[in-house]
Structure 1
Amino acid sequence: MYGPPGCSKTLTAKALATESGLNFISIKGPELFSKYVGDSERSIRQIFAKARSAAPAIIFFDELDALAIERGSGNAVADRVLAAMLTEMDGVEQRHDVIVVAATNRPDMIDKALLRPGRIDKIILVPLPDAETRREIFRIQFRKMPIADDISMEALVAKTERYSGAEICSVCREAALEALDENLECSHVTWQHFISALESVIPQTSEEKAKMYDEYGRTLRTTIR
């Protein structure tokens, strides 16, 4: 899974494990690197060994771009870690009932050898939320906070175009804090509080960057073929 930050890629992976009832092993890419020679590769082997012993299981690599950097980048440790991953994924020891899921914000940095059929061959774009999704996020957030009658759901949906799900949640939290800063005993969050929150929480994904993710998807699929 790839896409802009804050679009619930990690949450989607956890939901997949919960719905399927499989054992779930979550790994942050950077945490596997060690200054000691051989430690990083051993960690990769141990992860896959643990998954095989707990099969059926899902191994989830978060921030895959930090772990599977394209070979030849000048990072010898990263090259060895990637080689260990490739060996474990389709090498001598076959995986049994082990599913590998990964997430990244930078698909362009991942070595293409990892993205061929038999390894990570399903590439899914997790885009910024559309209007209906943003509306549902606000609806869920409003269940946990008292809002005034002057709040317009549709206006908020229109004003949060290009906001990620995490940024929309941040807008709601910021609006609540604005209300408390104004009056610790306030009973409702008003429209003006949301306006102030929207001014302080700025979307991090530009229109150009969103288009780049679409282009990456077409490029990756062409490469896999």
Structure 2
Amino acid sequence: MDPALLRPGRFDRLIYVPPPDKTARFEILKVHTKNVPLAEDVSLEDIAEKAEGYTGADLAAVVREAALRAIREQMAECMGEANNECKKSDIECREKKIRDCMAGKGRIVERKHFDVALKKVRPSVTQDMIQFYQNWLEKARQQLPRTNIKPSTFT
């Protein structure tokens, strides 16, 4: 960042917004899974615990990835059923069976889907990044009048 941006009159306040803690991650997960059918083995608290360093956008991506994995799994099952019930040359029959199968089942997102999603979607905030911003904030505190920096926002 150009030091000229930190001169008096450029910004009224400098605010450090840390990545979400476990409680915030849990609340973010609740929002993003509101319309997602979850299996009983899914614990949002456990996922929030495992998701250290994940931002709100990262957590949204984890939920999307888990849901897509569940849908892909269902699609593979339906295709298998259609292949067993229809002749290979009867494409119409296979398409109808797949369509009926996909419509008839509501795919529930299970813990295994989240486990895979957490491995695929990596956190965008690293400890090095957090340390960089904490150091930057300390440096900014030394350069600017104390009234311009909100220490209560720093954790």
TM over 0.5: yes
From the CA coordinates, give the structure whose radius of gyration is larger.
2
CA displacement at 1:183 relative to structure 2: 0.5
One-letter amino acid of the structure 2 residue matched with residue 128 of structure 1: P
- In the aligned structure 2, how far is the partner of 1:215 from the partner of 1:144? 40
- In the aligned structure 2, how far is the partner of 1:144 from the partner of 1:123? 36
Computed over aligned residues only, the root mean square deviation of the Cα atoms, in angstroms, reads: 1.3
Provide TM-score, normalisation by structure 1: 0.49
Provide TM-score, normalisation by structure 2: 0.70
1:175-194 pair list within 5 angstroms: 175-184=66-75, 185=102, 186-194=106-114
- In the aligned structure 1, how far is the partner of 2:17 from the partner of 2:39? 33
Secondary structure, counterpart of 1:183 in structure 2: helix
Secondary structure, counterpart of 2:57 in structure 1: helix
Is 2:71–2:107's contact at 8 Å kept on the other side of the alignment? Answer: no
More strand by share: 1
Secondary structure, counterpart of 1:214 in structure 2: helix
- In the aligned structure 1, how far is the partner of 2:114 from the partner of 2:44? 11
Provide the aligned length of Structure 1 versus Structure 2: 116
CA displacement at 1:203 relative to structure 2: 1.2
Please list every run of 5 or more consecutive structure 1 residues that lacks an aligned counterpart in the other structure: 1-108
1:13-32 pair list within 5 angstroms: none
The corresponding residue for 1:162 is 53
- In the aligned structure 1, how far is the partner of 2:4 from the partner of 2:119? 43
- The structure showing larger relative contact order (alpha-carbon pairs under 8 Å, at least 6 residues apart) is 2
Is 2:41–2:111's contact at 8 Å kept on the other side of the alignment? Answer: yes
CA displacement at 1:145 relative to structure 2: 1.0
Please list every run of 5 or more consecutive structure 2 residues that lacks an aligned counterpart in the other structure: 76-101, 146-155
**Which of 200, 217, 221 is equivalent to 2:137?**
217
- In the aligned structure 1, how far is the partner of 2:9 from the partner of 2:109? 51
